[in-house]
Each structure stands twice: as structure tokens, then as C-alpha cells.
């Protein structure tokens, strides 16, 4: 029993030391980002760790420490006026913690980040799209390293909290080191709002255009195609943008192909894609995770895929709608 208690105390001590180490490390990281005037955005697969997440972690630890201090004081001063003050302090802390948690959840859930790479892969633009009630904003950043992004001081303010990137009402153009984003203000003026950034001198310019002045075709979409409507597909397209087209498996005599985007032992995650203008466009996630796959078209124009696992078991699938949906044969 004594050994169990000692082990428990030991683990609690290790956990406390780990939390304090993380607290100091994250606090130092936030101070560095403030001093160099950069925002924190660490991307891992489809998940983004933001500066807001780190601040909330520090707030949570700070509240936890304050609760611990009050608990120690309550054991020492458990009677009279001090007890009332300490109980009241506990209530105030709980209210403030719940309020800060509510603000954190609201701010995090109302902002989505999108990644756009230049054709030469030298620049990576991050578009932060925020919508709160009737307030909307698209702000642009440039990624400088895996940890920090720099604010380009380029903003678009759609009316009525509209989210044009999420709704695929946008157009992107690259001209060497110049990046242009145009969004359709569907909830307001019904016009296109464009912001252009020269990534060499950070010069920013704006333009309003009538709907008939911007012809957005499928070829103009440099990072996404018209059939990509939902948030999950946007995230999958962002994964494709970071992969090499050389790793894709091309289906003969067609503009389609297959690419592995994740591997866990013998299991693989495959995407069905379309090649367009030397880019890969996401169409669907394939229903099988076997390591070997090949595809072909039949005489009726249907797409056929054959998967083979490590035990040489074979599964066949067919798509009659250009690879959007699959059924097992």
C-alpha cells in the first residue's frame, strides 16, 4: 500500500513537472512570436495549432494553479471571514474560466485556414476566413517556416458574414511573385472584391469588379475545382497541394490517377484524382486501403480499380460517375 501511494505521488510529481515545463516552453514560444511580430500556426495533416490554442493552454494552467493555491489556503483558513472570501474567490475563478473557455471555443470554431502554394513552390499563402454573426473577414498571411506565419496586412471584408472560400466563390492567380485573391461578395454588393500582394515588397492593392468582369472557369481555379464544395474536400485538396505529382499512379489514356496520401503499416489511404494543368485535383477518397492498386476504363466508360492486399486477396471496385462514388464488384 505504501509503495502504491509513493508511486502515485511520484507520477503526480512527474506530471506536475511536465505541465510546468510545457507552460514555460509555450510562454517562451509566445513571447518569441510577439517579439518577431509573427503569428503561430503549426500545421499537422488536417489539424492546425494556433497561437490561440497555446494561449488557452496557459490560461487553463494558470487557473489550475490558482485553484490549487485557494485549496491550500482553505485548509489553513477554514473558518470565519477568510473562508467566505476564499469560497467567493473560487466562484469568481470558475466564472472567469468558463467565460474564457466560451470565448476560445467561439473564436476557434469561427475561423478556418486555407493553404495556397505558388506554382514554383517558393511561396505559401495562408488565408484565414472568419465569420461571426454578420461580420466576415478574409485575411492573408505568408508562411515563413513550419511554426510562424507573417501577416501581409491584406484583408477582404465580405458582407453579412459570408464565407466565399468555404463556398468556393473565389479565384486565385499567380504572376511570378504576385498573388491575387478574388472573392464573390454574394451576400452584399454581388461584385467581386480582389486583393493583390507583391510578395517581394509586400505592396497591397485592392479592386472591386462587376460580376461580368471576372470570368471564373475551371481552368482558373489554381488550387481547387468546382466540384469541391465541402470543408472536408477542401482539406483533402490542401493535402494534395503538398504532394508531388510524380508519386501519383496514372490511369492509361485518361486524365485520372491514384495517389497514396497516408501509410500505416500495410494499410494505405488512397485518393482518386484528376490531372489538370500539371496539378492534382481531388475527386474522392478510395474505399480500399490495400497496398497495391491499378485502374482502367471499360468499353462503357466506367472506371475500374483492382486492389490487392499483402495476402494476395483481390477486391474490385467500379465508378460510373467519373470517380465520385465507388461500388464493389
**Phi, psi (rounded to 5 degrees) for 68:** -65, -40
Scored b (16 or more CB within 10 A) or e, 7-42 reads eeeeeeeeeeeeeeeebeebeebbeebeeeebbbbb
Determine the pLDDT at residue 17: 82
What's the chain's average pLDDT?
Answer: 80
- CB 256, CB 265: distance < 8 Å: no
Distance CA 209, CA 184 (A): 10
Q: Is 147 exposed, middle or buried (0-12, 13-18, 19+ CB in 10 A)?
A: middle
Is residue 2 pLDDT above 60, yes or no? no
Angle between helices 51-76 and 80-109 in degrees, nearest 10: 170
Distance CA 39, CA 141 (A): 9
Determine the pLDDT at residue 234: 67
Q: On the CB side of 305, how many CA atoms lie within 13 Å of its CA?
A: 30
Choice between 41 and 230, residue whose per-residue pLDDT is larger: 41
- Other beta carbons within 10 angstroms of residue 246's beta carbon come to 6
Determine the pLDDT at residue 9: 53
| pLDDT tens profile 153-174 | 888 888 777 888 887 788 888 8
Tell me the pLDDT band of 8, cut-offs 50, 70 and 90: low
Distance CA 323, CA 303 (A): 7
Determine the pLDDT at residue 218: 34
Distance CA 134, CA 162 (A): 8
Pairing of strands 327-328, 314-319: antiparallel
| pLDDT tens profile 258-289 | 998 887 666 788 899 988 767 788 888 898 88
Q: Is 68 exposed, middle or buried (0-12, 13-18, 19+ CB in 10 A)?
A: exposed
Is residue 13 pLDDT above 50, yes or no? yes
Distance CA 194, CA 198 (A): 13
| pLDDT tens profile 192-228 | 788 888 888 888 888 776 554 454 433 344 444 434 4
Mean pLDDT to the nearest integer, 38-55: 83
Distance CA 220, CA 318 (A): 30
Distance CA 177, CA 175 (A): 6
Q: Is 194 exposed, middle or buried (0-12, 13-18, 19+ CB in 10 A)?
A: buried
Determine the pLDDT at residue 253: 77
C-alpha 301: how far from chain center: 36
Cβ-based neighbours of 308, under 8 Å, separated by 6 or more = 290, 291, 292, 293, 314
Helix, strand, coil in percent for the chain, rounding step 5: 35, 35, 30
Smallest Cα–Cα separation from 272: which of 300, 299, 313, 304?
Answer: 304
SS3 for 293-310, per residue? EEEEECCCCCEEEEEECC
Amino acid at each position: 500500500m505504501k509503495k502504491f501511494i509513493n508511486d502515485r505521488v511520484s507520477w503526480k510529481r512527474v506530471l506536475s513537472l511536465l505541465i510546468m515545463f510545457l507552460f514555460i516552453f509555450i510562454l517562451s514560444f509566445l513571447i518569441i512570436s510577439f517579439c518577431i511580430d509573427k503569428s503561430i500556426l503549426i500545421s499537422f495533416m488536417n489539424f492546425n495549432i494556433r497561437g490561440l490554442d497555446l494561449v488557452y493552454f496557459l490560461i487553463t494552467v494558470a487557473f489550475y494553479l490558482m485553484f490549487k493555491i485557494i485549496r491550500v489556503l482553505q485548509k489553513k483558513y477554514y473558518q470565519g471571514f477568510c473562508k467566505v472570501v476564499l469560497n467567493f474567490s473560487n466562484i469568481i475563478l470558475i466564472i472567469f474560466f468558463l467565460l474564457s473557455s466560451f470565448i476560445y471555443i467561439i473564436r476557434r470554431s469561427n475561423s478556418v485556414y486555407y493553404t495556397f502554394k505558388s506554382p514554383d513552390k517558393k511561396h505559401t499563402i495562408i488565408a484565414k476566413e472568419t465569420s461571426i454573426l454578420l461580420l466576415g473577414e478574409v485575411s492573408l498571411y505568408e508562411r515563413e517556416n513550419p511554426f510562424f506565419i507573417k501577416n501581409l496586412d491584406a484583408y477582404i471584408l465580405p458582407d453579412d458574414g459570408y464565407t466565399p472560400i468555404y463556398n468556393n466563390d473565389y479565384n486565385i492567380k499567380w504572376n511570378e511573385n504576385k498573388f491575387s485573391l478574388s472573392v464573390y461578395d454574394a451576400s452584399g454588393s454581388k461584385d467581386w472584391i480582389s486583393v493583390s500582394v507583391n510578395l517581394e515588397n509586400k505592396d497591397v492593392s485592392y479592386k472591386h469588379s462587376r460580376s461580368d468582369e471576372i470570368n471564373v472557369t475551371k481552368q482558373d481555379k489554381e488550387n481547387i475545382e468546382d466540384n469541391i464544395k465541402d470543408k472536408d474536400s477542401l482539406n483533402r485538396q490542401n493535402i494534395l497541394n503538398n504532394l508531388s505529382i510524380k508519386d501519383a499512379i496514372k490511369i492509361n489514356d485518361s486524365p485520372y490517377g491514384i495517389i497514396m496520401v497516408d501509410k500505416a503499416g500495410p494499410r494505405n489511404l488512397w485518393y482518386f484524382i484528376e490531372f489538370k494543368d500539371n496539378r492534382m485535383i481531388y475527386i474522392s477518397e478510395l474505399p480500399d486501403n490495400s497496398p497495391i492498386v491499378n485502374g482502367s476504363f471499360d468499353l462503357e466508360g466506367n472506371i475500374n480499380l483492382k486492389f490487392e492486399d499483402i495476402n494476395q486477396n483481390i477486391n474490385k471496385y467500379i465508378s460510373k460517375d467519373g470517380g465520385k462514388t465507388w461500388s464493389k464488384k
